[in-house]
Structure 1
Amino acid sequence: MNTQFKTKHVEWFSAEDMYRQVHDWLSELEFVKDEHHFFEDLVKTYTLQIIDTKKFSEYQKIIDSIKHSEKRNNALIDAIKVHGNELQIMIDGINQPKEESDYKKEHRNLIVLVSEFLKDYQSLKSKLFEAVKDILKKDKQQRLLEKR
């Protein structure tokens, strides 16, 4: 519902506002890209523990979700870069109502896509960290049992 509210007001965004939003999106998605690398390293670090658990299929779904999220993130970054390069339509001083309307429509679409992606991404992060927490607990319990 909040996303719909934002999209109805895109017509009021100035070219400068859209420019800032594009750069904010790119910054956030580039950070997500770095986090994906961290997640891959995290999964590699705990591969043996993941394979050994009864929750292997659950963890495999999380790993697949990370790969899917990475692809979505890269596609969004590419789309936003293209969108940012097309901002010229809004600031060139030439009255192009159709092109400007199309640009704003695309911007509204990107608002929704980025918002949905970030929501899904936060959910994925929570699942991943919960899985790692479970693995670390089991690992700690195992080490405590071995010390006896």
Structure 2
Amino acid sequence: MKTSTHLKYIKAHDPEGLHEDTTQTLSELAFIEDELHFLRDLITENTLELIVGKPFEESRKLAEKLSSLENKEKALLKELKQHHNNLELLLDDIEVPNEVKDYKDTHYKLMMKVINFYAEVKSVKRNIFKIIAENRKKNKEKRLL
């Protein structure tokens, strides 16, 4: 996933730019939610092969990590939606000292969480595909012998 936010430029963003960043990130998180469901289904469909095969312990750890990512995604999505809703407070006509700075600081922290989350998802996804591909290759070799 590509995060449109350039973290070093958050301080220069106006509220409209922050809104676009947040909306884009919400969309990306919704896509990742679908992707995590796909990965869960992929593991479920290959459970027997993964249990019988040598990488059972590694597969179990990946399934646990996937569950953890699903929980993180839900929490991050909730936090980001709240942040998105708080943008309305930033745009109201009431002047609050440091309101924009505080919002941008929160925005920066959330974008860092999102980037770290994307990295975790990418790593787990890569490992799941690697294990399944190796397992299928071994099964294919056994059938050919």
Asked if Structure 1 and Structure 2 have the same fold, meaning a TM-score greater than 0.5 normalized by the shorter chain, the answer is yes
Counterpart of 1:3? none
Distance between the aligned counterparts of 1:13 and 1:90, measured in 2? 13
1: CA distance between counterparts of 2:93 and 2:16?
14
How far residue 14 of structure 1 moved from its aligned partner, in angstroms, is: 0.9
Matched, 1:67 2:67: yes
Q: In structure 1, what is the Cα distance between the partners aligned to 2:55 and 2:30? A: 31
Whole-Å Cα distance in 2 between the matches of residues 20 and 60 of structure 1?
Answer: 38
**Cα-Cα RMSD:** 1.8
How many equivalent residue pairs?
142
Percent identical = 34
Q: Which residue of 2 aligns with 1:29?
A: 29
**Contact (CA 8 Å) 2:55, 2:131: kept in 1 or not?**
no
What is the correspondence of 1:123-142 to structure 2 with a 5 Å cutoff?
123-142=123-142
Match of 2:3 in 1: none
Q: Deviations over 1:75-126 (max 9, x none)?
A: 1100000000000122113221233322111101101101111111111111
Partner Cα separation in structure 2 for residue 119 and residue 143 of structure 1: 36
Q: Tell me the TM-score normalised to structure 2 length.
A: 0.90
Q: Structure 1 residues 41-50 or 98-107, which shifts more?
A: 98-107
> Matches of 2:141 and 2:23 in 1, distance apart?
46
Q: Give 2:14's aligned residue.
A: 14
Instruction: Return the offset for 1:30.
Output: 0.6
